[in-house]
């Protein structure tokens, strides 16, 4: 299985049968190396409704007839746009053909701003546990530090975690380091930084300070085998 990072919070998972995209913020993301008009996806997993996470979901899902898995209100909103969606909620898990998805808590907000400026409430934000091909990938979404992360670390054997470090909108590097000790992932990758001036950080410095597991700063487009 190949897992690649594409800037901001965009992650792609490729197995022999499926291509899965997390939070495909592509066309308006200058960091991203993917092409929203050609990227393939069988499944899109969304952590919450902010535009810098929903990104190009509607166009990509329509072109690929992809399944969109998202928190309930966000999934219902995207279903109203004609997408094939599967709604879930915090604490819930579901086994799909491609693997098992479980939504965890994330302390953040969730709303989508339409082109005309209309703001649509899209429910609670989430983190996503993806259990696939015998591995567990934890995309934490946008979140603050909270103590239930210890519980997730105790309950799940996490192989790879994507953790926000940008500060201002999410936890910063200091809190994220505490989170890495709690979730006990084997490999930790920083995300959600440098996209905007207010979230500029040093991901290499963060990765070097990770004590529980291996901190790894993935470059844009870099792929690791899991």
Instruction: Please report whether residue 159 resides in a domain.
Output: yes
Instruction: Please report whether residue 226 resides in a domain.
Output: no
- Would you state the pLDDT for residue 73? 98
Instruction: Please report whether residue 126 resides in a domain.
Output: yes
- Mean pLDDT over 162-183 rounds to 98
Instruction: Please report whether residue 7 resides in a domain.
Output: yes
- Mean pLDDT over 28-42 rounds to 96
Name the residue range of residue 60's domain. 2-214
- Would you state the pLDDT for residue 125? 98
- Would you state the pLDDT for residue 66? 98
Whole-model pTM over 0.75: yes
Q: Which two tokens stand for residue 225?
A: 């085998």
Give the pLDDT band of residue 31 (cuts 50, 70, 90). Answer: very high
The string of pLDDT tens digits covering residues 49-79 is 999 999 999 999 999 999 999 999 999 999 9
Instruction: Please report whether residue 224 resides in a domain.
Output: no
Q: Return the DSSP state at 25.
A: -
The structural domain count of the chain equals: 1
Question: The CATH number of the domain where 90 resides is what?
Answer: 3.60.15.10
The string of pLDDT tens digits covering residues 74-130 is 999 999 999 999 999 999 999 999 999 999 999 999 999 999 999 999 999 999 999
Q: Residue 189 belongs to what H/E stretch?
A: strand 187-191
Any idea how long the chain is? 226
Q: How far apart are CA 127 and CA 172, in angstroms?
A: 17
Q: What whole-number percentage of the chain has pLDDT above 90?
A: 100
Q: How far apart are CA 178 and CA 212, in angstroms?
A: 9
The string of pLDDT tens digits covering residues 120-143 is 999 999 999 999 999 999 999 999
Cα-based distances in Å from 31 to 5, 10, 158, 212, 222 = 11, 10, 27, 28, 13
Instruction: Please report whether residue 15 resides in a domain.
Output: yes
Give the pLDDT band of residue 3 (cuts 50, 70, 90). Answer: very high
Instruction: Please report whether residue 225 resides in a domain.
Output: no
The residues, ordered by sequence, that sit 6+ positions from 154 with a Cβ below 8 Å of its Cβ are: none
When the pLDDT of each residue in the chain is averaged and rounded to a whole number, the result is: 98
Instruction: Please report whether residue 223 resides in a domain.
Output: no
Give the pLDDT band of residue 162 (cuts 50, 70, 90). Answer: very high
């Amino acid at each position: 299985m190949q897992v690649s990072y594409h800037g901001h919070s965009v992650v792609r998972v490729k197995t022999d049968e499926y291509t899965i995209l997390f939070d495909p913020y592509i066309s308006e993301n200058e960091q991203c190396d993917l092409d929203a008009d050609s990227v393939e996806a069988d499944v899109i997993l969304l952590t919450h409704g902010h535009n810098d996470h929903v990104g190009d979901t509607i166009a990509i899902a329509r072109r690929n007839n992809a399944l969109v898995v998202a928190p309930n209100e966000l999934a219902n909103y995207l279903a109203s746009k004609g997408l094939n969606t599967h709604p879930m909620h915090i604490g819930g898990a579901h086994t799909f053909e491609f693997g098992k998805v479980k939504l965890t808590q994330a302390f953040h907000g969730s709303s989508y701003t339409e082109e005309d400026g209309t703001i649509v409430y899209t429910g609670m934000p989430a983190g996503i546990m993806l259990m696939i091909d015998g591995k567990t990938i934890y995309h934490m979404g946008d979140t603050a530090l909270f103590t239930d992360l210890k519980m997730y670390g105790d309950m799940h054997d996490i192989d790879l975690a994507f953790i926000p470090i940008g500060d201002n909108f999410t936890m910063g590097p200091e809190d994220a380091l505490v989170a890495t000790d709690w979730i006990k992932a084997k490999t930790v990758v920083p995300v959600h930084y440098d996209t905007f001036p207010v979230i500029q950080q040093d991901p290499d410095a963060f990765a070097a300070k990770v004590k529980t597991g291996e901190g790894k700063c993935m470059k844009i487009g870099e792929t690791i085998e899991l």
